[in-house]
Structure 1
Amino acid sequence: MPVDKTEREVRTLVSQIEQGEIRLPEIQRGYVWKPTQVAKLVESLYRGYPSGSLLFWQTDEVPQTREAAISGPAGKSAVVPLYLLDGQQRVTSLHRVLTDHPQAVIVFNVETEKFQNQSAATAKDPRWIKVYDVLKPEADQYQLVGELHERNPDIPPGEISKRLQKLAAVPGHKFHMEVLRDFPYDEVTQIFVRVNSGGRSLKTSDLALATLSARWPGVLQKLEDEAKHWADRGYGDIDVTFLTRALTGAVLGRGLSAWSHARLVSATDDELDRGWATVRRGLCHLVSLLQNNLGASHSKLLPSMVVLLPLIVLLGEREDEHLDSGTADAILYWFLAATIRNRYSGSTDTRLGQDIPAARTDDPVRHLLDNLGVTGGVSIGPDDLAGRTVGSPYFFLSFLVAKEAGAKDWWGGIGISAAAEGSQSLEYHHIHPQATLKNHPEKYSKGEINDLANLAFISGKANRKISHRSPRDYFPTLGDQELTAHLIPLDEDLRDADRYRSFLSERRRLLADAMTGLLERFRPAWLSPASKSTDPLSGAVLEFEWYDNTTGDDVLFARARTNSGTWSGTMSAADLEDVVAAAEAGVDGDLTIAGESAPVRVQDELLEVPIGPFVVTGTLPEWRKVLDRERGDSRPVAALTDPGVNRWEGERLIFPVTSVD
């Protein structure tokens, strides 16, 4: 079984993709690179930096394939094709750049020799030129040099010409290639998994899908068809990645991990068939329960999709008999309790390894509640809602209780719904507008302003109509019933910004009572009534503030509060972004926080960062979303008061990054 080594130019690879001479085996994941990554690749080739090698497979077999993410379908090859195992993101990106793909509009700054994605700013700046305009076959270099010099007279034409020639040489860059010949599909899959585990690692779900594709040809089509079925019904988060997790959980009886692919290889055809039947049947029952019995019409409302996995197994393997209302309610009770307790915010694989087997017992809901530590009814108190915002699971419950109370949009008078579109699409509105609270003499913090108790669900049109008006001004245009349905106190004294903290306190009480009432409606009869709240994060708050530093690294300030005390500290925003980037490759790291080095871990596809009294945890997209939000709301570093150096000596609580304000 030889391995051939050769070289091939970029332009040749691009042509081979179009002609169908290079194809993607089903084990490949989809194209995921962002324009910034594409720009960096082009810059690396421009500067002559190492760009890695490519790994192909050539075989007389005809494996299942997937379409490359290029414009238009690939042709039908007249020769035996090469199947690309490693390098899909690079090769597809270069194809996009060289064929003027609308999602790869990379531009080049002829003065600074920088590359980036096209933007409104670069389109107006005479120094930037689209890379495709230089690389396209009919490009006239002499004409381009003249046009650029005319727009940039301070740059010598000779220098412009030299730089454009260097850029025009990119399609001639040669990639080193290794071609595996006559390897069987199952062995190629193992090579694929090892290559991607050793380099820029795939997520465990990608590795599991690759193994399933080799072990069970055609599975990707099954997953994509099933995902489309649920997307058409409002549950678009039941995507291929989620279905891979569900199938793996049904077959292996636990969550995904680095060893999942090895276990999947040994799974029998019967086990895979039964697992897939479990997933499909479980989803049919579960989604129906969520939509019809709970009012969760769309998956975008759900704070966590992982919490569905044990219930899919429970309902998918259940005897084909009538589901009585008591059992249905108990299932939803565990779903709500596990959601607000952030059951899978840390050690996801370990906890699924407890909960999936529990779902297979004779008394599954009781065992699932035992795993959650719930021995009596769950109660929600006002303190549980303090400091919570849109990322909190309580935000989901606030929508459910408002919907149950008959809340309507304040503009169209239509019941709130996640299905609404256009001007009626659902948004959340600051009841006391941010403009009236910022810079107020009471010095309301960002966390207080964005508090869950200050948010109501209304349409985008109603939100714009209200704009920055105080409740004192716009509440009189609404009837008491319209306010009550949104769990908003009617006391007129609470409508002024100087009484804002009292407003928060009263609305938290109304929301907490309604949420507890919702839970009680689903509480199984054998579980004792709700008592005092035992949420471990009750009263816990974590806030980030980003400060721009024109003379050095930007600073991220963190402020935390728990029942045990307060803490604050700073860290380098760039260092935290580097940690997130390293986590993408599955690499742990260190981060200096409040003057002390702290270990950062990547576990179960979650990034865990110890910050003061918390271990802040979340997926990489969740971390990026929080950092992007804070960067967009940054302040000058001169506004930062030195917090001093604080050390946290006590135990740390698991805190979801989605709950950071």
Structure 2
Amino acid sequence: MHVEKTERSVGELIDQIGRAEIKLPELQRDFVWKPTQIAKLMDSLYRSFPSGSLLFWQAEDAPVVREMAITDVAVTPVRPPLYLLDGQQRLTSLHRVFADHPDAQIVFNIERERFQNQSAATRQDPRWIKLSEVLDPKASMLRLTKRLIDAGSQLEDTEIEQRLGRIRQFREHRFHMEILKGFPYETVAEIFVRVNSGGRRLGTLDLAMATLSARWPGVLEKLQGQADYWRRQGYADIDVNFLSRALAGVVLGGGLSGWSHGRLATASDEDLDQGWATVCRGLRHVAALLRANLKLTGSGPLPSMLALIPLVVFLGERPDAPLDKELSDGVIYWLLVATMQGRYGGSTDTTLSRDIRAARRPDPMQALLGNLDLLTNTPQVTVQSLTGRTKESPYAFLSLLAAQLNGARDWWYGTEILPGADGDRKLETHHVHPMATLDGQYDKTEINDLANLVFISGRANRRIGTKTPAEYFPQLDVEELTAHLIPLTETLWKPEAYPAFLEERRRLLAASMNQLLAQFRPTWLDRLPTSPAAPIDGYALSLVLYASTWDPGRLLFTASGDGIRWTGSAAMAEFQQAITDASVVGIDGDVRIAGETVPVQVVEEAIQVQVGPFLVTGTPDQWRQVIERESTLPRPLSTLPSVPEAPWLGAPPITFPVTSTE
């Protein structure tokens, strides 16, 4: 075994990819770079910034491979291929730009020397030129220069030629390379894990997948085949990532950790085969229960897929015997409460380990319910539980289920409101009181309140448009309204009665949700004292962005609840950057909130930030959605109120899911 050190130009490497002389081993992850990241790589090459080295493996026996995210290469290599271990994002990006890939339409502004992805604005401005045009060996630099001058560029022709020439030189840029020779697959997988976990963030799931690929060749094909099956069934979220985590959960008996790949490497063939059989069998049982009991024809409405894994373990490993009603109800009841409480919004792998252990105990249902404290208390949804919640809240899931089980039908097609439909029948959240009539009187949190939302088809949503309930409700039957838990008091249908409408509909939603929970609660849990439906009931955290066209502005936080009254703010640019660093690179950082520096920490697969009295937690995707939500309609920066910027000095912070922020 030895390591050869060499270098090659971008042009040589791209040509090798085109000849299928560079391939991806199965242990590689997906191509994930966005056009903005590709544009930054082009900018680095333009400025002659360091671009890192590449790591390859020259295999004696061809391993299982996966497709590169490029235009199809339908050739048989003349020379034995090299297998790319580190540098996939950079090489794939370069190939896409050179090949004019539709997802890498990078353009260059000749005067501002700026790179970005093609947009409607750049298409209208001829001073932006596509990189693929400049990089085409057959392109005439003279013609391109003349075209830019004719477009109104104020640069001298020699300066234009010089700048275009720097782009043309991308093909000559040289990468340092290391080629592993004579290494077995198992050792290569370990090297891959170490290299990637030390650089750009590679999650525990990626590390586990790399190990499984080396330990169990062909596993990606198994996972992809099963994912394709579930996608056809409407459960697109049962994808390769979910299946990988479920398999690891079954084999390891818990969630993933930084050392999971080491434990997976020692798993026997029998453990892996049996674990895979458990996952496949358990999923079929779970999906059947969801369809029969909750009318879930698709996975889209589920706030967290991870909550299914303990049930997959329980149902996949139990003896092949009929599932009595008491047990099936217990499964559904556990899922509903776990979802309502946001059980998998924080330290997911720690929680998953605890629930998988419970699923394997002699009385698994009792153990799982005990993990949610359901053996001593009955969770009760109240009007207060729903106050201030939006469609990102776990209560939105229960709102949909309550309407379905109440017999709600679409207001256009008259069919059941079922997830998974396409086109005009696809379910959308419809504002009962339209935004057009509320805007200016209420803030976006109040307008987007869960009590103002119903689930209907896109066709019905567009048909109603901006009509007020007083205008379109009379066209619907009483049954059509009550099934969607709409108050029938006509005075509440007018815009001026909006607060009273929200209060009454929360009451109807809460009653229906409690009825839903009671329908599946095992009878042996009856007559227990009631408790709040979720730990954060009665607490609220609102985020409001104040910004201008030239200033990203500030995020204003307002926390309230039992004994809590606190406000503070943070610079939006700093806050967003900290979340991005934690999401993409996995780097812990900090941000100033209310005059105090607080950590932004990556804990397992979640990001945690203490915002006043709350430890706000969520997945990277959930944080991004919240930031996008706040950025959509910011308030004018000039209206930012003056608030006391004082850190929270009260009780220890309460864990608060970012999906429940307003």
What TM-score range do you get, normalising by the shorter chain? over 0.9
Aligned AA (1:449): I
**Aligned sequence identity (%):** 52
Partner of 1:117: 117
Aligned AA (1:556): L
What's the CA shift for 1:378?
2.5
Partner of 1:647: 647
1:35-184 to 2 correspondence within 5 Å?
Answer: 35-184=35-184
User: For 1:206, what is the secondary structure of its paired residue?
Assistant: helix
Whether contact under 8 Å (2:539, 2:562) holds in the other structure is yes
Q: Deviations over 1:615-652 (max 9, x none)?
A: 11111122112212222222331121122213222222
1:540-551 to 2 correspondence within 5 Å?
Answer: 540-549=539-548
Whether contact under 8 Å (2:111, 2:153) holds in the other structure is no
Partner of 1:403: 404
CA distance in 1, matches of 2:200, 2:74: 27
Does 1:371 pair with 2:394? Answer: no
Whether contact under 8 Å (2:313, 2:356) holds in the other structure is yes
Q: Deviations over 1:460-488 (max 9, x none)?
A: 22222222222122211112111101001
Q: 2:470 aligns with which of 465, 469, 472?
A: 472
1:435-450 to 2 correspondence within 5 Å?
Answer: 435-440=436-441, 444-450=442-448
Aligned AA (1:122): T
User: For 2:4, what is the secondary structure of its paired residue?
Assistant: strand
Partner of 2:629: 629
User: For 1:378, what is the secondary structure of its paired residue?
Assistant: strand
CA distance in 1, matches of 2:566, 2:460: 39
Whether contact under 8 Å (1:436, 1:497) holds in the other structure is yes
Cα distance, 1:63–1:153 mapped onto 2, change above 3 Å: closer
- Quick check: 431-440 or 337-346, which moved more? 431-440
Whether contact under 8 Å (2:378, 2:530) holds in the other structure is no
Partner of 2:197: 197
Partner of 2:455: 457
What's the CA shift for 1:3?
0.8
Whether contact under 8 Å (2:345, 2:619) holds in the other structure is no
What's the CA shift for 1:203?
1.4
- Quick check: 356-365 or 651-660, which moved more? 651-660
Aligned AA (1:458): I
CA distance in 1, matches of 2:69, 2:421: 31
Q: Deviations over 1:60-104 (max 9, x none)?
A: 111111111111135221222111000001000100000011010
CA distance in 2, matches of 1:153, 1:44: 24
Partner of 1:524: 522
Under a length normalisation based on structure 2, what TM-score does the superposition of the two structures give? Answer: 0.97
Whether contact under 8 Å (1:613, 1:653) holds in the other structure is yes
- Quick check: 86-95 or 528-537, which moved more? 528-537
CA distance in 2, matches of 1:638, 1:34: 34
- Quick check: 274-283 or 539-548, which moved more? 539-548
Partner of 1:500: 498
1:246-325 to 2 correspondence within 5 Å?
Answer: 246-325=246-325
CA distance in 2, matches of 1:372, 1:592: 35
CA distance in 2, matches of 1:612, 1:351: 25
Whether contact under 8 Å (1:387, 1:539) holds in the other structure is no
Aligned AA (1:547): Y
CA distance in 2, matches of 1:79, 1:393: 54
Partner of 1:34: 34
CA distance in 1, matches of 2:549, 2:104: 30
Whether contact under 8 Å (1:9, 1:173) holds in the other structure is yes
Whether contact under 8 Å (1:549, 1:555) holds in the other structure is no
Aligned AA (1:462): A
Whether contact under 8 Å (1:379, 1:531) holds in the other structure is no
User: For 1:301, what is the secondary structure of its paired residue?
Assistant: coil
Q: Deviations over 1:362-391 (max 9, x none)?
A: 211111111112223332111111111111
What's the CA shift for 1:530?
6.0
What's the CA shift for 1:493?
1.8
CA distance in 2, matches of 1:233, 1:578: 39
Partner of 2:559: 560
CA distance in 2, matches of 1:76, 1:429: 53
Partner of 2:578: 579
What's the CA shift for 1:149?
0.6
Partner of 1:428: 429
Aligned AA (2:543): F
Aligned AA (1:517): Q
CA distance in 2, matches of 1:327, 1:10: 60
- Quick check: 412-421 or 298-307, which moved more? 412-421
User: For 1:559, what is the secondary structure of its paired residue?
Assistant: strand
CA distance in 2, matches of 1:472, 1:568: 37
Q: What CA RMSD, in Å, does the superposition of the two structures yield over aligned residues? A: 1.4
Aligned AA (1:383): Q
Whether contact under 8 Å (1:560, 1:613) holds in the other structure is yes
Aligned AA (2:463): K
1:371-390 to 2 correspondence within 5 Å?
Answer: 371-375=371-375, 376-390=377-391
Cα distance, 1:644–1:129 mapped onto 2, change above 3 Å: same
- Quick check: 213-222 or 151-160, which moved more? 151-160
CA distance in 2, matches of 1:211, 1:352: 20
Q: 2:486 aligns with which of 482, 488, 494?
A: 488
What's the CA shift for 1:552?
4.7
Whether contact under 8 Å (1:389, 1:450) holds in the other structure is yes
Whether contact under 8 Å (2:564, 2:613) holds in the other structure is no
User: For 2:429, what is the secondary structure of its paired residue?
Assistant: strand
CA distance in 2, matches of 1:625, 1:453: 20
User: For 2:32, what is the secondary structure of its paired residue?
Assistant: coil
Partner of 1:242: 242
Under a length normalisation based on structure 1, what TM-score does the superposition of the two structures give? Answer: 0.97
Whether contact under 8 Å (1:387, 1:452) holds in the other structure is yes
Aligned AA (1:256): L
CA distance in 2, matches of 1:33, 1:3: 28
CA distance in 2, matches of 1:221, 1:194: 24
Aligned AA (2:487): P
Aligned AA (2:256): L
What's the CA shift for 1:153?
4.0
Aligned AA (2:24): L
CA distance in 2, matches of 1:449, 1:565: 24
User: For 2:57, what is the secondary structure of its paired residue?
Assistant: strand
Runs of 4+, deviation exceeding 6 Å: none
Q: Deviations over 1:97-150 (max 9, x none)?
A: 000110100000001101000000110012211110100121111000000011
User: For 1:526, what is the secondary structure of its paired residue?
Assistant: helix
Cα distance, 1:305–1:153 mapped onto 2, change above 3 Å: closer
Q: Deviations over 1:291-312 (max 9, x none)?
A: 1221111100101101011000
CA distance in 1, matches of 2:447, 2:344: 28
CA distance in 2, matches of 1:227, 1:550: 43
Aligned AA (1:566): R
- Quick check: 329-338 or 147-156, which moved more? 147-156
What's the CA shift for 1:286?
0.4
CA distance in 1, matches of 2:126, 2:569: 40
User: For 1:299, what is the secondary structure of its paired residue?
Assistant: coil
CA distance in 2, matches of 1:153, 1:77: 45
Cα distance, 1:30–1:385 mapped onto 2, change above 3 Å: same
CA distance in 1, matches of 2:371, 2:119: 50
User: For 1:493, what is the secondary structure of its paired residue?
Assistant: helix
- Quick check: 44-53 or 578-587, which moved more? 578-587
Q: Deviations over 1:272-294 (max 9, x none)?
A: 11111110110010011111221
Aligned AA (1:276): W
CA distance in 2, matches of 1:646, 1:452: 31
User: For 2:283, what is the secondary structure of its paired residue?
Assistant: helix
- Quick check: 333-342 or 68-77, which moved more? 68-77
